[in-house]
Chains A and B, each alone.
Chain A
Amino acid sequence: MKKLDRVFENSARSLAKRTSRRSLLASLGQLLTGAALMPLLPIDRTARAQEPARPSPDEQKCEYWKYCAIDGFLCACCGGTSTSCPPGTQSSPITWIGTCHNPADGRDYIVSYNDCCGKVSCGDCFCDRNEGEKPMYRLSRNNDVNWCMANSESNYHCSVSVILGVAEK
């Protein structure tokens, strides 16, 4: 153990001789910036559901509160749910967001509308609601673009609506 301590002490001293505190801060800064950017990178982080999709009747209705800014086919009618893509599709890592009011608890929620990709349009339960939706020049609030654009399979199939958190007033 002492030997191990000595190895680390020597390497730390050697590092201190070779580098300044400023460079350490710069490196740490780069690391932190990198970490902050990581969630933006288009990597599929979708959890794999253990059970087959069982959407509630509400999830198959366009009037469902979470769908306040959706424009597309509801995945809950296409083999998925409001939070799961149908089997055999990919989820889009980039999304548009909406702010929807849940009448059940009186709170506003930030909702992510991911597209499910890689198959032709589902064609069922088309839903077009546009609360807070903005034109394409404010892309993060736009529901007209194909959010499958950055997927390896960029065909659009359907859209889900995933709560990200409570909207701060």
Chain B
Amino acid sequence: MLLILAAGIASSWAAAPTPPLPAEHLTIATVGPKSPHWVYVVDYAYNNEIDSRVWLFDGDTHRRIGQIDTGFIPGINLSPDGRTTAVATTYFARGGHGTRTDVVEFNDNNTLSKTGEIVIPPKHAHTLAMLFTIGYSSDQKFVYVPYLTPAASFGVLDPARKKVLSEIDTAGCTLVYPWGPNHVSSICESGRLLTVSLDAQGKESGRTSSEPFFDVDKDPVFAQAVPLKDGYAFLSFLGEVHEIDFTQPKLAMRTPWSLVSATEKGTWRPGGVQIGAVHGSLNRLFVPMHKGGDGSHKAGGTEIWVFDLKSHQRTARWPLDTHVTGPAVAVQVSQDATPLLFLATEKSHLLILDAQTGKLKHDEPSLGQTPQLLLNP
């Protein structure tokens, strides 16, 4: 009898209903405090190019923080203070077709929401994965957007008053490499840089042309220059490094140096889309390198080579296991004291390495369709 009673109590305990889940509240997540280990991953979405986007990704927690929509073949860059993502892009009135509208959109990086726009002439340069398809002046008073019709020029915009100020003809030279409050350079087929100076109203006040520093037929440079503390470094297809000091009114070309030894030259090459990144205080250059011949300049890196920018010596070679991820097509490094190296790969992985040891810390698969450009917060 006691046994039956005990069994009855046990079964009634087992059947006791658990309390219901509390009602939930729908909220919208916030971005949270900025970390130097965040990275903006630009996905050009080749399979449906009208729908490119930027992912903001946290390199420590390995989570997607949010997304910015960026339209068709955009130019994307951050403001010097890091608060705004500016996007030069195209929309078609009926989705994939219809009247083309080109626009520069401004997104607040604290909320990832759009805060304003400037409609520009429908000719912003449609080219893939390039740091120099939109840029800010150092004081953020101007935004520059290269145009291509295919005649080349660039627009000067006022981001505060949301106005187009001027259009400047660049005599066939292309893209915008901004420097200081009022200088914009474009790269020319002649191997020179054309530098235009602007007045306070954003109109041209003068122009100069540099000495030629490369030969497009013998050894072209990647137009995707690597930003330095005092200018830009242009890497050539064969691995020559042309560092250019932009701080002088007349651009100063430093003596070129090479990423490769005499025996490596023509065999090991830099390649991919974003082909270099510099850690400012460590003074280190990171380059995706591959073994290949002529025409392999877009092949991603199977190794990352690390160089000291002062001694020009290679300090490390980090082979990548590319079997699953594919080679690295884009590289970026965080600028803090414990830096992370970010690599976007051919098969759309985001690899996160310790930038001081090369140790793989995380492999994030499927970060978009075709991530090819990485920006620091």
Contact = CB atoms under 8 A, between A and B. Distances in A.
A32 to B, nearest CB: 23
Interface stretch (A21-29, A103-111, A120-128): A120-128
Q: B-side binding surface: helix, strand, loop or mixed?
A: loop
B47 interface: yes
A136 B174 contact: yes
A71 B49 CA distance: 14
A121 B126 contact: no
A42 to B, nearest CB: 10
Interface stretch (B107-115, B218-226, B311-319): B218-226
Q: A-side binding surface: helix, strand, loop or mixed?
A: loop
B296 A153 contact: no
A162 interface: no
Contact of B150 (A68, A139, A156): A139
Contacts of A71: 298
B371 to A, nearest CB: 15
A68 B294 CA distance: 12
Given A128-B298, A137-B188, A121 B49 contact: yes
State which size class the interface on B falls in: 35 or more
Interface string B156-193: 00000000000000000111000000000001110000
Interface in A113-146: 118-121, 123, 126, 128-139, 142, 144-146
Contacts of B223: 135-137
Contacts of A133: 295, 297-298
A139 B221 CA distance: 14
B174 A149 contact: no
A163 B50 CA distance: 30
Contact of B48 (A68, A121, A129, A144): A121
A155 interface: yes
Interface string B203-240: 00000000000001000111100000000000000000
A142 B47 CA distance: 20
Given A134-B220, A137-B216, A155 B96 contact: yes
Contact of A146 (B47, B73, B216, B296): B73
Contacts of B175: 136-137
Nearest to B47: A123
A131 B299 CA distance: 12
Contact of B216 (A68, A120, A123, A138): A138
Nearest to B129: A144
B188 A154 contact: no
A132 B216 contact: no
Interface residues of A, number: 33
A94 B73 CA distance: 18
A167 interface: no
Nearest to A119: B96
A126 B127 contact: no
A150 interface: yes
Contact of B92 (A126, A135, A136, A155): A155
A135 B222 contact: yes
A137 B189 contact: yes
Nearest to B173: A137
Interface string B83-100: 000000010100111101
A131 B295 contact: yes
Contact of B221 (A68, A118, A135, A145): A135
Query: Which of the listed residues A120, A130, A150 has the most CB atoms from chain B within 10 Å of its own CB?
Result: A120
Contacts of B47: 121, 123
B277 to A, nearest CB: 19
A47 to B, nearest CB: 23
Contacts of B221: 135
A153 B148 contact: no
B292 to A, nearest CB: 10
Given A119-B97, A137-B173, A137-B174, A149 B48 contact: no
A149 B295 contact: no
Given A149-B126, A155-B96, A121 B46 contact: yes
Interface of A: 68-69, 71, 94, 118-121, 123, 126, 128-139, 142, 144-146, 148-150, 153-156
- The 9 A-B residue pairs with the shortest CB-CB distance, nearest first, are A146-B126, A123-B47, A120-B96, A131-B295, A135-B223, A145-B127, A130-B295, A121-B49, A144-B128
Given A68-B295, A135-B187, A144-B127, 14 more contacts: A120-B48, A120-B95, A120-B96, A121-B46, A123-B47, A129-B295, A130-B296, A131-B294, A135-B220, A137-B189, A139-B150, A146-B127, A155-B50, A155-B97
23 contacts: A118-B96, A120-B50, A121-B49, A129-B295, A130-B295, A131-B294, A132-B295, A135-B187, A136-B127, A136-B175, A136-B187, A137-B174, A137-B189, A138-B189, A144-B128, A145-B125, A145-B126, A145-B127, A146-B126, A150-B150, A153-B92, A153-B98, A154-B90
